[in-house]
């Protein structure tokens, strides 16, 4: 069956690739962007199957209005995609507080606003799929200079886990997509790279250098990613997390293995905090790499 999509951040990058892939698959798409005129070529090509709307996802009322207008246009909404987002680079110590908050407003609160407004629609029609764009950094984390962006992506995961449980009785599913580097302008025009003190040369400085040579970290093909996601919407059996790209896949597996190893190593100590468990218990032997 064809699907009806609602996609934020549709004017470029993965969002635009996803809109095109869905349209080429025969679906209909409500494509939102701050500047919907950038979608004019897709409207010329696909006609009434694309509905372009202006949307600033940080405005809750605007998000609700865009969703309502899209449902009125197409009759239903099957796939909600929260893709809008951006990142700036600077160390936590010197990041401008307003810049940190503005990034978080789009990267997390935008997802919150659209998801919350979509829930009544999906609940009423008894089904739908919410696709949340996180990133490899939202699973693995630890990228210097990207504290606001990655904090928001981790928050999206926690938020979406609850959303999934609360809406499952209504037939609603959630998919958190975790891309590694893709050939978009994420590290180009969309990113402001701030100066970093010399003390951060080895950490944030390295990220600044990578961002200035963005082609080196953009191995992913947006068209392939979009086609994968369109195919995913046709399945009943889907994962909750979907890493996309070699670095995302291998980095996630490596992290999961490290976390499992640590959990097993500290299991008895962790359990000993409960009244019913033996206490005290010996700590694991320290290794040289862990000695301070």
Q: Do the beta carbons of residue 159 and residue 203 sit within 8 Å?
A: no
Catalytic residue among 52, 143, 153, 252: 153
Listed by start position, the domains of the chain span: 4-244
- In the prediction, which pLDDT does 5 show? 98
4-244 carries CATH number 3.40.50.920:
no
**pTM (2 decimals)?**
0.92
- In the prediction, which pLDDT does 24 show? 98
Question: Whole-angstrom distance between the N-terminal and C-terminal Cα of the chain?
Answer: 59
In terms of Cβ atoms closer than 10 Å to its own Cβ (0-12, 13-18, 19+), residue 69 is middle
Q: How far apart are CA 231 and CA 21, in angstroms?
A: 10
Q: Do the beta carbons of residue 207 and residue 195 sit within 8 Å?
A: no
List, for the chain, all residue ranges whose pLDDT scores fall below the cut of 70.
Answer: 183-191, 208-217, 289-292
User: What sections of the chain are H helices per DSSP?
Assistant: 13-24, 40-46, 60-74, 97-104, 110-125, 147-167, 204-212, 222-232, 246-265, 267-271
3-state secondary structure of 232: helix
Residue 153 catalytic? yes
Residue 231 catalytic? no
Catalytic residue among 51, 112, 149, 200: 149
Residue 134 catalytic? yes
Q: What are phi and psi of 126, to 5 degrees?
A: 60, 50
- In the prediction, which pLDDT does 292 show? 37
Q: How far apart are CA 235 and CA 79, in angstroms?
A: 13
Catalytic residue among 52, 134, 143, 160: 134
Q: What is the 3-state secondary structure (H, E, C) of 113-126?
A: HHHHHHHHHHHHHC
Sheet harboring 4-7: ordered strands across?
Answer: 50-54, 28-33, 4-7, 79-82, 128-133, 172-179, 241-244
């Amino acid at each position: 069956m064809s699907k009806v999509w609602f996609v934020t951040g549709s004017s470029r990058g993965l969002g635009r690739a996803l809109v095109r892939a869905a349209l080429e698959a025969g679906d209909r798409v409500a494509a939102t962007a701050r500047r919907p005129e950038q979608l004019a070529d897709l409207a010329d090509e696909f006609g009434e199957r694309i509905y372009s709307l202006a949307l600033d996802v940080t405005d809750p009322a605007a998000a609700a209005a865009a969703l309502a207008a899209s449902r009125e246009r197409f009759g239903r909404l099957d796939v909600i995609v929260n893709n809008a987002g951006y990142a700036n680079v600077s160390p936590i110590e010197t990041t401008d507080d307003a810049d940190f908050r503005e990034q978080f407003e789009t990267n997390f609160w935008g997802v919150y606003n659209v998801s919350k407004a979509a829930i009544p629609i999906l609940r009423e029609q008894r089904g739908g799929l919410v696709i949340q764009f996180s990133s490899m950094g939202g699973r693995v984390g630890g990228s210097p200079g990207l504290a606001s962006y990655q904090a928001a992506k981790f928050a999206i995961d926690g938020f979406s886990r609850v959303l999934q449980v609360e809406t499952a009785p209504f037939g609603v599913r959630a998919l958190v997509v975790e891309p590694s580097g893709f050939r978009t302008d994420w590290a180009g025009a969309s990113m402001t790279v701030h100066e970093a003190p010399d003390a951060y040369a080895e950490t944030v400085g390295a990220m600044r250098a990578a961002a200035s040579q963005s082609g080196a970290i953009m191995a992913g093909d947006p068209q392939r990613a979009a086609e994968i996601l369109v195919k995913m919407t046709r399945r009943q059996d889907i994962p909750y997390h979907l890493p996309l790209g070699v670095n995302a896949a291998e980095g996630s597996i490596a992290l999961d293995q490290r976390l499992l190893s640590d959990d097993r190593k500290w299991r008895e100590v962790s359990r000993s905090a409960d009244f019913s468990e033996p206490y005290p218990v010996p700590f694991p032997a320290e290794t040289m790499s862990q000695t301070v």
